[in-house]
Amino acid sequence: MEMQQIRYFLAVCDQGTITHAAQLTYVSQPSLTQAIKKLEEEMGGALFTRTRSGCELTPLGRMVEANLRKIYRDLQATKAEAIRFTRLNTIPFRIGLMTTIGAQRLSPCLAWYQQEYPNIELELIVDSEASLLKQLDSGLLDLVISAPTQLPAPPYHSTLLYEERYVVVFSPSHRFCQLQKVGLKEIQAEPYLDRLNCELREDLKCICQNQEINLYASYRSNSEEWILQMVKAGMGVALMPEYSLPKQAADISYRYLADPEISRQVYAIHTHQASTKAELKALVKYIVMSA
């Protein structure tokens, strides 16, 4: 059994499809499929059932998954220690960022961290919260920064990093520039750009229903960048977390949302094993202090 086979197996478990697993592990689909087949031969049976929607674990696959995850986590810990020794104490540190977490608030913290800890090699992975938590559990990540609507249960540990308010984003020529704040009732008269990845999307729907507000989505996208580009083009207005906006952008204007104000809390999420790492503690502490 090779460690790459275990890595590919866990990637398929977490991603649910061969295609997404191959993208995550930076390998071709035929190579990943062949590695899984070899692992199945060694295990004595099929580990996945292939369906039109993806891959599902067989009873044998479910039985071996926990042990293979432990083997891979132990390997990652050993590998980190080896790198620490062979690279004169250089340490790899992998951070998962939920897709809607903006760079404006965290970039200065990472810049400070790089200066204070030059022996740390940072790797940033942007993905959905569900996918990041699976990668965290598999040992592929050391830390996840997310804005969960509900804190994950143990064995995950969550530390509040900061809170950010939602703002109404529009082009500089928009009539909202004349206002101090913008309410939901004023937005309903505008073409609305719907962010499909917004973690508060369902909460916003409930608020609108309670206040009898109809936000008609003229456009929808799961990409924050595309939403911003459509705002710049004057195609409509959007609701976004304030730190997801480019700092001092001349072609984007915003006002804080009012009636009601909406905010979210951003957390650092990690496992108990990772909580003992000094480099993780230092980064989390600095982000909290700089809030």
pLDDT in tens, the chain (291 residues): 788 899 899 999 988 888 888 888 888 989 999 999 999 999 999 999 988 888 889 999 999 898 898 888 888 777 776 766 666 556 778 899 999 998 888 999 999 988 888 878 888 999 888 889 888 887 788 899 999 988 888 888 999 999 999 999 999 999 999 999 999 889 988 999 999 988 888 888 888 888 888 888 889 998 989 999 999 999 999 999 999 888 777 889 999 998 889 999 999 999 876 666 777 888 899 899 886
Q: In sequence order, what are the residues at sequence separation of 6 or more whose Cβ sits closer than 8 angstroms to the Cβ of residue 14?
A: 21, 24, 131, 134, 135, 138
pTM: 0.68
Contact 120, 113 (CB under 8 A): yes
| Residue 18, strand partner residues | none
Is residue 120 within 8 Å of 114, Cβ to Cβ? yes
CB 214 within 8 A of CB 142: no
| Listed residue (159, 164, 147, 148) closest to 105, CA to CA | 164
Backbone angles phi, psi at 165, to 5 degrees: -85, 160
d(CA 90, CA 118): 8
Domains and CATH numbers, the chain: 1-71 (1.10.10.10), 163-264 (3.40.190.290)
Contacts (Cβ under 8 Å, ≥6 apart) of 108: 290
Task: Please count the other Cβ atoms lying within 10 Å of the Cβ belonging to residue 102.
Answer: 19
Here the tokens at position 276 are: 């003992």
2-to-29, 36, 38, 241 alpha-carbon distances in Å: 18, 11, 10, 43
